[in-house]
Amino acid sequence: MTLAIIRTRAGLGLEAPEVLVEVHLTNGLPGITLVGLPETAVKESRERVRSALVNAGFEFPLRRITLNLAPADLPKDGGRFDLPIALGLLVASGQIPPEALAEVECVGELALDGGLRPASGVLPLAMATRQAGRRLIVPRANADEAALAGDLEVLPAEHLLEVVAHLLGQETIAAHRLQAPPRRDTSEPDLREVRGQHQARRALEVAAAGGHNLLFAGPPGTGKTMLASRLPGILPPLGEDEALEVAAVRSVSGLPLAEQWGRRPFRAPHHTASAVALVGGGSRPKPGEISLAHHGVLFLDELPEFSRQVLEVMREPMESGQIHIARANHERRYPARFQLVAAMNPCPCGHLGDPRQACHCTAAQIQRYQARLSGPLLDRIDLQVEVPALPAEQLTSRESGEDSATVRERVLAARERQWSRGALNAYLAGPDLEAACALGADDRAWLAEVLERLQLSARAFHRVLRVALTLADLAGAPRPTREHLIEAIGYRQLDRLLKGG
C-alpha cells in the first residue's frame, strides 16, 4: 500500500478539529514534501520522524514522500503531529496493516530515539476524540490528563516501539483508567479570620450568592485583600462539567491540572500586567488571566494602578462571558465567565477619609486618580463598598464572625432559588429579571426617582435589580421588597462618589 490516512487533531484554543495525516509514497528521488499549512515546528517533524524511525529499527522508505495535513486551510503548530506522521509512513510502506488504525486517533511528539514526549492541550483533544467514539494513543505523560475526558479508551505509551507492537497485536497496551481526582479538602482562607467589616462581609456574601462583581475601596491595611481571598471559600464547589472546562483552559495554557482539579480558580495578576496577559492573545494566542479565572475569581488589587487600556478590554468579556481573539489567518475563542473582585485606595496616598492618618493629596490628584476608572467599567461592578479603618479594640477583639462554611450554606440555598429561574442573577436576561422582581407601581416610581437623583445609568438600574433579587433570595423572599432595593442602592454609593457625583 502506498497511501495511508491517520487521524489526529489540531489545537485551536479549546477546540480540537480533526486533522487527517495523508501519506503517499511514489517513485522518484527520495525526499519529503510536507503541505497543509504547517508552521515551523511541524515542518521540522520531518527530521525528527526520520531519526526516530531509523533509531527504533524500522525501515524508512527511500521514495518520494508527500505528507498532507488536511484540511489544508487549518493552521497546524507544535510537535503533536510527529507520531501520526511516523505511523502514516509505516502504514504506507507496509510495515503496519491499515486496519490497525481504523478507529484510532493519536498524538505525540517524537524524540530522536523514538521516545514519546508529551503534547500540550491534550484534554480538549481527548474530549473531542471521546465524542467521535474512537480510541486515543498518547504519550504516557499525557495519560492522566487524557483520562479526565471520561468515557474514553486511552492507550498510553513511552516509545514508538510500544505503539507499533500494540498495533501489530504483539503486545497490548492496557487502557489507562483514572477516576476523577478526589475533591481535596481545600485549605481556603476562612471568613472567620476577618475582624469587623460587617458591611464588607455582607457584600461578599451577596456577591457569592448572585455571581456579582465587587469593588472594595478603603485605606491601606483595612482588610480588602483579606476579604477578597475569602470569596472562593464561600462559593459552591465546581460541578464535573465546570471542572472539565477549567481544566481544559489550564491544559491549553500548559499549566498542571492535578492540584487544581475541582477547585475554583483564584487569579490575582499584578497591576503591571499587559492587556495580552489579562485577556489573552499573542502571536500564538493563549488564554489570559480572565480565562484562567473561568468559573472562579479574578482579583485586581490596586485597581486604578492598572493601565486604563488594560481595564477597558475587560468590559466586553464581563458581559459576554467569553473572549474572541482574532488574527489575520485564524481566531480563538476562550471562555471568561469570571467573577471580578477589585480593591482600591480612595486616593494616591491611600489615606483619604482615614482617621488614623491625614491625606496629603490635592483635589486635582484625587480626581485624576479616581478618573482612571471609567463610568462604563464601574457600571459593570454591581457592589461597590467602602472598607473603613477599624478601631484598635475591634482588631484586638477575640470575637469572630461566622465561618465560611456557615455563609456557604446560605449562598448555596440562594443559588438553588436562582437555578430554578434558569441562571444566576448576575446573568439573568432583562425580561426574566424584571419578571422575577415584579416590582409594584409604587416601588417602580420610587426607584426611578432615586436613580434619577443619583444619576445612575440604565445598566446600573438593572444591576440594582439584580442585587435586590439576590438579597431577596438570601432572605427567602419571593420577590424584592423596598428594604432590599434600599440596600442594593446603598452598594452603588461609591459609584456616584468615584464619578464625582
Rounded to an integer, the average pLDDT of 51-57 is 96
Number of Cα atoms under 13 Å in the Cβ half of residue 124: 23
> Residue 181 domain-assigned?
no
Percentage with pLDDT > 90 across the chain: 64
> Residue 434 domain-assigned?
yes
> Residue 173 domain-assigned?
no
CB-based contacts of 128-133 (< 8 A; 24+ apart in sequence):
128/9, 128/15, 128/16, 128/17, 128/18, 129/9, 129/16, 129/105, 132/18, 132/105, 133/103
Question: Domain check: are 282 and 336 in the same one?
Answer: yes
Q: Which of 210-214, 297-301, 491-495 has the least mean pLDDT?
A: 491-495
In three-state secondary structure terms, 477 is coil
Rounded to an integer, the average pLDDT of 11-33 is 93
**Set of cell numbers at residue 321:** 462571558
Q: What is the sign, positive or negative, of the torsion defined by CA atoms of 103, 109, 111, 115?
A: negative
Whether 100 shows a pLDDT value over 80: the answer reads: yes
Rounded to an integer, the average pLDDT of 293-310 is 94
pLDDT in tens, 420-473: 999 999 999 888 998 999 988 999 899 888 888 887 777 788 889 999 999 999
Question: Domain check: are 457 and 327 in the same one?
Answer: yes
DSSP 8-state code for residue 476 = T
Question: Domain check: are 138 and 239 in the same one?
Answer: no
> Residue 68 domain-assigned?
yes
> Residue 28 domain-assigned?
yes
**Residues 129, 9: Cα–Cα separation, whole Å:** 9
Question: Domain check: are 287 and 391 in the same one?
Answer: yes
Question: Domain check: are 275 and 395 in the same one?
Answer: yes
Site of grid cell 438579597: 471
Whether 318 shows a pLDDT value over 70: the answer reads: yes
> Residue 175 domain-assigned?
no
Residue ranges making up the domain that contains 371 = 191-498
Question: Domain check: are 229 and 345 in the same one?
Answer: yes
Rounded to an integer, the average pLDDT of 44-66 is 95
Report the candidate in 110, 138, 94 with the shortest Cα–Cα distance to residue 52: 110
> Residue 183 domain-assigned?
no
DSSP sequence for 323-365:
EEEE-SS-EEEEE---EEEEEE-SSSSS-TT-TTS-----HHH
CATH number of the domain bearing residue 341:
3.40.50.300
Site of grid cell 526516530: 52
Rounded to an integer, the average pLDDT of 343-362 is 88
Which amino acid is located at 27 in the chain?
N
**Would you state the pLDDT for residue 59?**
94
CATH number of the domain bearing residue 91:
3.30.230.10
Report the candidate in 175, 168, 162 with the shortest Cα–Cα distance to residue 83: 162
Mean pLDDT over the full length of the chain? 90
Report the candidate in 389, 385, 310 with the shortest Cα–Cα distance to residue 353: 389
> Residue 111 domain-assigned?
yes
Report the candidate in 280, 297, 287 with the shortest Cα–Cα distance to residue 254: 287
**Would you state the pLDDT for residue 500?**
45
Question: Domain check: are 17 and 133 in the same one?
Answer: yes
pTM (predicted TM-score): 0.89
Question: Domain check: are 404 and 438 in the same one?
Answer: yes
Question: Domain check: are 393 and 482 in the same one?
Answer: yes
DSSP 8-state code for residue 318 = H
**Residues 232, 243: Cα–Cα separation, whole Å:** 14
Three-class DSSP labels, 162-217: HHHHHHCCCCCCCCECCCCCCCCCCCCCCHHHCCCCHHHHHHHHHHHHHCCCEEEE
pLDDT in tens, 366-393: 888 988 888 888 888 999 999 988 776 6
Number of independent structural domains in the chain: 2
**Would you state the pLDDT for residue 331?**
79
What are the CA-CA distances from residue 373 to residues 70, 230, 305 (Å)?
48, 25, 10
Question: Domain check: are 199 and 65 in the same one?
Answer: no
Do 309 and 191 contact (CB within 8 A), yes or no?
Answer: no
Q: What is the sign, positive or negative, of the torsion defined by CA atoms of 343, 239, 188, 271?
A: negative
DSSP 8-state code for residue 413 = H
In sequence order, the β-bridge partners of residue 172 are none
Confidence label for 192 from pLDDT (cuts 50, 70 and 90)? confident
Confidence label for 186 from pLDDT (cuts 50, 70 and 90)? low
Question: Domain check: are 65 and 147 in the same one?
Answer: yes
Whether 122 shows a pLDDT value over 80: the answer reads: yes
Question: Domain check: are 327 and 369 in the same one?
Answer: yes
